[in-house]
Amino acid sequence: MENIVAGLTLFQKGGLVMYVLLLCSLFVMAIGLERFQYFHRMDSGRDFARSFAELMGADDYAGALRLAQETSGNIADIVVQAAARAADGQDVSSFMEIQSGVTLAHFRQRLYYLHVIVTMAPLLGLLGTISGMISAFSVFNMQSAQAAAITGGVGEALIATAFGLCVAIMALAVHAFFVQWVENIVTDMEQVFSLVEASQSELTKVGAAYAFA
């Protein structure tokens, strides 16, 4: 209990900018939670890309389509739709290119805000520190007691910078985590879609006879 009270006291000494930084930290956590749920729901997974490539390499096109139909996520859905278009005699290259762009845009949604907070949080902390130091050095009569007060004021002003750096580090870690996840998705897309394009004629036959009869 004492630690909580001490933490709240220290937080209040950082000034008004601490509340802005607190909102930024809550915003980062909200984006991280929402993006994790979306990625977990819409990413077909690396296992799908690897298994799909193995089946296609073994010329098991029916098995590859069956795997795509049984797997959730955007990549698997695009493969199923592309196979349906191939069964109708349509070219799938442009379709997959457009759908992959739309899918990646959805995955990257809101990640830009994390990048903004990474840059903005230290600046807000620095602003709070400068504001606190201005207040601390506004004492002109340098008596001993007042000099100690100035030293304490500078120490309290640095709280905002420390908190701003903590928020920036948290936002940077969350941003890097999802950027790497997106890169993995891009790699999976390139692997899967290149196989679909290279085997369009075979998928046309299989799709017409099996998956979309």
Q: Distance between CA atoms of 7 and 18, rounded to whole angstroms? A: 12
Q: Distance between CA atoms of 52 and 39, rounded to whole angstroms? A: 20
Measured at the CA of 161, the angle between CA 155 and CA 164, to 5 degrees, comes to 145
pLDDT of residue 88: 79
Q: Distance between CA atoms of 156 and 129, rounded to whole angstroms? A: 8
pLDDT of residue 154: 63
| 141 has a pLDDT exceeding 90 | no
Q: Is residue 2 part of a domain?
A: no
Q: Is residue 1 part of a domain?
A: no
Q: Distance between CA atoms of 209 and 114, rounded to whole angstroms? A: 47
pLDDT tens digits for 40-81? 999 988 899 999 999 988 888 888 888 998 999 999 999 988
Q: Is residue 3 part of a domain?
A: no
Q: Is residue 43 part of a domain?
A: yes
Output the average pLDDT for the chain: 83
Q: Distance between CA atoms of 103 and 101, rounded to whole angstroms? A: 5
pLDDT of residue 200: 75
pLDDT of residue 146: 56
pLDDT tens digits for 180-209? 999 999 999 999 999 888 787 777 766 655
Alpha helices in the chain (DSSP H): 2-13, 17-42, 46-57, 61-70, 74-87, 93-108, 111-136, 144-198, 200-206
Annotate 169-194 with DSSP letters as a single string. HHHHHHHHHHHHHHHHHHHHHHHHHH
Q: Is residue 4 part of a domain?
A: no
Structural domains of the chain, count: 1
Q: Look up the domain containing 167 and give its range.
A: 10-208
pLDDT of residue 210: 52
Q: Is residue 140 part of a domain?
A: yes
Q: Is residue 16 part of a domain?
A: yes
- Exposure string for 93-126, b = 16+ CB within 10 A, e = fewer: eebbeebbeebeeebeeebebbeebbebbbebbe
Highest mean pLDDT of the ranges 8-17, 42-51, 122-131, 170-179: 170-179
pLDDT-derived band of residue 213, with 50, 70 and 90 as boundaries? very low
Helix 93-108 with 17-42: angle, nearest 10 deg: 150
**Helix, strand, or coil (residue 140):** coil
pLDDT tens digits for 146-157? 555 555 556 667
pLDDT of residue 147: 52
Q: Distance between CA atoms of 111 and 152, rounded to whole angstroms? A: 39
Q: Report the length, in residues, of the chain.
A: 213
* pTM for the model: 0.83
Q: Is residue 170 part of a domain?
A: yes
Q: Distance between CA atoms of 70 and 15, rounded to whole angstroms? A: 55
